[in-house]
Structure 1
Amino acid sequence: MNPFEMVVLIVAIVAIANVFRAKYGVIRRGKGEEFRNPSTDAENRQLREELRTLKERVATLERIATDDSTALDREIERLRDR
Structure 2
Amino acid sequence: MNPFEMVVIIVAIIAVSRVLQAKYGGRGVFGRHDRRDGLLNVTPRQQDDAETRRLREEVAQLKERLHVLERITVDKENSLTREIDQLRDR
TM-score with structure 2 setting the length? 0.46
Higher helix content, 1 or 2: 1
Higher RCO, Cα 8 Å, sep 6+? 1
Higher strand content, 1 or 2: 1
